[in-house]
């Protein structure tokens, strides 16, 4: 996408008035004036078709809007408005490459229309073309220096580039220019929040609310920040207020689903599970932005009796989620009884582990298909002799089988590693010394600017765990050789890495290694979930409270867990000191 010289982040919501809606208002005026002018039959037909496209867009019928906008452009190839609307419709259909081409045509025909620059910036941002988005937003600001939308979106874009100081300076200067622009205060809050400064984020959200207390997104953002620093009852009240305003003002249905989902996770964080799991089901709504989409033949299970039924459990989200949600599988097997059958569709890497752990079930891989920009989970084998009566997304069992925290963990360690391979790893670990064998995994395999705040660097881990009597074993999946080399150089200690073991894709072997270890210390990753579900003592190192704790000081899903964190979110010095003290206590070494 070449650009001449409101999107949302996870958790936070940008509160920019819809740039597309602003452009639509101008398009409506243009179409009406063109239709009244009746300069020619062709021009009148183009204007009438454009009006139909706008009407379809208002109804969120993106396909019809795109078809009519394309027809209007065919009738009047010089209509930048038609190409602009076509780009907006294609954008909503997830056809970003085609949308980019249409934005370019609109820009060539209407280079002085600032709304096009704003929407081009939003599209580029959505495609992670951040430098192009930055240029487009700066052109919009140049054209409309007193409009907060440009600063709001540019600030968010700079934040996603990791340029937090630039983003704060930009928005702060804009606030001096437009002090009563509540959008700017909200944006300043999101920038601080993504930089782990939730205390200031709360202050800025409250200022946005003081200026305009009727905006649901401001209340949602305040709630999200409070879930990280507390108090959680205030966070829940803020989510409820956001939902009230969304209903009262007939706000975005998509925003409403995100608010309900976020409230569900907050409810889980305080152990209020009945309402939490009901809210959590919004993840299955196709209109939810990060929806879990499942396409299988049998109807969804709604909590009815399963005796004698054939039930298909479909894994969802990531590997760690599939492992965590499998805690309910023994209950589902019991509910089906001897005349029923549980069938599990899961990531192919988990198939041997789940089949060994749940021998009464049938386990086979799930597959991913695409519908536009969304991923759909399918299990084409679940037919014929494997046909089922009902299906459920793995996390849905929580709503019916885990309504209190006391109901968790009753099966103890519910996954089983290959016993022969576990014994192999025990012997191998024993051959390298008598120290406590501690597996470590310090980060997720997927890192971006927003996610980095959830993890500390390996160098910090190595310093904290450089304790006599401890032998560190690498469990970090992916290519981490450079990180390991830096940690070894810093501490002078060794971190044992088995180079021939693929910790990402050979989960069956990784599980055997985890089961052979004395202790696993990990960030909240699939590695931690696997070790904990196998029954290995597992310490979760968290930047702050996490909803799977369910309001406790551990992970109730698993039998032997400990949580190491700090009262303030992302206070890594305190967290790492706590980790060091804990491992020294575990090895009877005096604290530093």
Tokens for 223?
């709630």
List the chain residues with pLDDT less than 50: 1-10, 17
Cα–Cα distance measured from residue 269 to residue 551, given in angstroms and rounded to the nearest whole number: 5
Tell me the C-alpha distance between 198 and 200, whole Å: 5
Determine, yes or no, domain membership for 391. Answer: yes
Which of 275, 291, 307 is the endpoint of a domain? 291
In tens, the pLDDT along 287-328 reads 888 888 999 999 999 999 999 999 999 999 999 999 999 999
Q: What is the pLDDT of residues 111-162, one digit of tens each?
A: 888 998 998 899 889 888 999 999 999 999 999 999 999 999 999 999 999 8
Identify the pLDDT of residue 568: 87
- Contacts of 362 by beta carbon, 8 Å cutoff, 6+ apart: 341, 342, 343, 344, 386
Please check whether residues 503 and 423 belong to one and the same domain. yes
Question: What CATH code is carried by the domain that includes residue 228?
Answer: 1.25.40
Range of the domain at 285: 215-291
Residues 462 and 580 in one domain: yes
Question: Same structural domain for residues 433 and 558?
Answer: yes
How many domains in the chain? Answer: 3
The first and second tokens of residue 526, run together, are 């699939």
Are 434 and 456 in the same domain?
yes
CATH number at residue 564: 3.40.50.2000
**Domain shared by 252 and 329, yes or no:** no
Predicted confidence at residue 447, as pLDDT, reads 58
Cα 231 from chain centre? 23
Do 481 and 465 have their domain in common? yes
Residue 186 domain flag: no
DSSP 431-485: HT-SSEEEEEE-S-S---HHHHTT---HHHHHHHT--TTEEEEE---S--HHHHH
Q: Indicate if 348 and 462 belong to the same structural domain.
A: no
Among the three residues 240, 275, 291, which one is the final residue of a domain in this structure? 291
Within a domain: residue 460?
yes
- Looking at the fold, whether 318 and 279 belong to one and the same domain comes out as no
Sequence-distant (6+) residues with CB within 8 A of 144 are: 114, 150
Q: What is the pLDDT of residue 8?
A: 41
pLDDT above 90 covers what percent of the chain?
69
Q: Do 275 and 320 fall into the same domain?
A: no
Q: What is the CA radius of gyration of the chain?
A: 27
In a domain, 382, yes or no: yes
314: β partners: 345, 393
Asked whether residue 280 is domain-assigned, the answer is yes
Domain end call among 403, 432, 451: 403
Indicate if 282 and 298 belong to the same structural domain.
Answer: no
Question: What pTM was computed for the model?
Answer: 0.86
pLDDT of residue 93: 86
Task: Judge if 351 and 430 occupy the same domain.
Answer: no
Same domain assignment for residues 343 and 380: yes
pLDDT at 45: 82
In the DSSP assignment, the letter for residue 587 is T
Query: Is 503 part of a structural domain of the chain?
Result: yes
User: Residues, the chain, total?
Assistant: 592
């Amino acid at each position: 996408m070449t650009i001449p010289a409101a999107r949302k982040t996870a958790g936070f919501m940008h509160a920019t008035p819809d740039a597309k809606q602003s452009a639509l208002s101008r398009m409506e005026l243009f179409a009406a004036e063109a239709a009244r002018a009746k300069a020619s039959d062709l021009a009148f037909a183009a204007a009438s078709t454009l009006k139909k496209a706008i009407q379809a867009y208002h109804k969120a019928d993106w396909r019809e809007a795109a078809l009519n906008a394309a027809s209007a452009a065919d009738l009047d190839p010089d209509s930048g408005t038609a190409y602009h609307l076509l780009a907006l419709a294609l954008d909503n259909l997830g056809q970003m490459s085609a949308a980019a081409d249409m934005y370019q045509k609109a820009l060539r025909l209407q280079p002085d229309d600032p709304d096009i620059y704003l929407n081009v910036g939003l599209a580029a941002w959505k495609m992670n073309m951040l430098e192009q988005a930055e240029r487009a937003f700066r052109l919009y600001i140049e054209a409309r220096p007193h409009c907060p939308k440009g600063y709001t979106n540019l600030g968010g874009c700079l934040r996603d580039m990791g340029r937090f100081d630039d983003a704060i300076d930009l928005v702060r200067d804009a606030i001096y220019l437009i002090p009563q622009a509540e959008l700017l205060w909200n944006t300043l809050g999101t920038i601080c929040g993504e930089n782990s400064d939730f205390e200031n984020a709360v202050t800025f959200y409250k200022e946005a609310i003081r200026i305009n207390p009727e905006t649901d997104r401001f209340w949602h953002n305040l709630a999200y920040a409070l879930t990280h620093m507390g108090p959680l009852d205030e966070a829940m009240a803020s989510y409820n207020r956001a939902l009230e305003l969304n209903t009262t003002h007939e706000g975005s249905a998509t925003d409403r689903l995100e608010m309900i989902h976020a409230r569900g996770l907050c409810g889980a964080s305080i152990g209020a599970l009945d309402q939490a799991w009901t809210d959590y089901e919004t993840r299955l709504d196709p209109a939810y932005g990060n929806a879990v989409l499942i396409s299988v033949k049998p109807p969804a299970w709604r909590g009815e009796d399963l005796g004698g039924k054939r039930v298909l459990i479909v894994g969802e989200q990531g590997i760690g989620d599939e492992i965590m949600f499998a805690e309910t599988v023994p209950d589902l097997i019991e509910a089906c009884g001897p005349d029923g059958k549980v069938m599990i569709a899961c990531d192919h890497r988990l198939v041997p582990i789940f089949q060994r752990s749940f021998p009464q079930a049938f386990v086979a891989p799930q597959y991913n298909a695409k519908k536009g920009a969304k991923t759909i989970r399918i299990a084409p084998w679940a037919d014929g002799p494997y046909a089922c009566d009902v299906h459920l997304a793995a996390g849905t069992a929580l709503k019916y089988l885990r309504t209190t925290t006391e109901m968790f963990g009753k099966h103890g360690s519910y996954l089983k590693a290959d016993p022969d391979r576990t014994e192999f790893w025990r012997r191998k670990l024993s051959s390298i010394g008598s120290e406590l064998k501690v597996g470590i995994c310090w980060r997720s395999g997927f890192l971006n600017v927003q996610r980095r705040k959830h993890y500390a660097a390996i160098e910090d881990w190595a310093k904290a765990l450089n304790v006599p009597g401890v032998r560190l074993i690498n469990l970090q999946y992916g290519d981490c050789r450079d990180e390991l080399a830096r940690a070894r150089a810093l501490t002078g200690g060794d971190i044992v890495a088995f180079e021939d073991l693929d910790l990402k894709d050979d989960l069956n072997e990784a599980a055997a290694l985890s089961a052979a270890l004395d202790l696993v210390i990990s960030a909240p990753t699939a590695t931690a979930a696997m070790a904990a579900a196998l029954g290995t003592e597992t310490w979760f190192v968290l930047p702050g409270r996490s909803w799977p704790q369910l309001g406790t000081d551990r992970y109730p899903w698993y039998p032997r867990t400990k949580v190491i964190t700090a009262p303030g979110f992302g206070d890594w010095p305190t967290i790492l000191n706590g980790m060091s003290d804990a491992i020294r206590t575990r090895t009877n070494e005096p604290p530093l």
